[in-house]
Chain A
Amino acid sequence: KQEVTQIPAALSVPEGENLVLNCSFTDSAIYNLQWFRQDPGKGLTSLLLIQSSQREQTSGRLNASLDKSSGRSTLYIAASQPGDSATYLCVATGGGNKLTFGTGTQLKVEL
Chain B
Amino acid sequence: DTAVSQTPKYLVTQMGNDKSIKCEQNLGHDTMYWYKQDSKKFLKIMFSYNNKELIINETVPNRFSPKSPDKAHLNLHINSLELGDSAVYFCASSQDVRGGASYNEQFFGPGTRLTVL
Contact = CB atoms under 8 A, between A and B. Distances in A.
Contacts, number: 56
B31 A97 contact: yes
Contacts of B108: 43-44, 46
Contacts of A43: 90, 108-111
Nearest to B4: A43
A31 B109 contact: no
Nearest to A38: B41
A38 B43 CA distance: 11
Interface in A47-106: 49, 51, 87, 89, 93, 95-101, 103-104
Nearest to B113: A41
Contacts of B55: 96
A24 interface: no
B42 A97 contact: no
A101 B94 contact: no
Interface string A24-52: 00000001101000100111101001010
Interface residues of B, number: 29
Contact of B99 (A34, A97, A100, A104): A97
Contacts of B90: 43-44
Given A43-B90, A95-B99, A104 B104 contact: no
B63 interface: no
Contacts of A49: 105
A104 B101 contact: no
B45 interface: yes
Given A43-B90, A89-B43, A104-B41, A97 B109 contact: no
A89 B56 CA distance: 22
Contacts of A31: 99-100, 104
Given A43-B108, A96-B56, A97-B104, A103 B42 contact: yes
For the complex of A and B, list the 5 residue pairs with the smallest distance between their C-beta atoms, beginning with the closest.
Answer: A31-B99, A101-B43, A43-B110, A44-B108, A97-B104
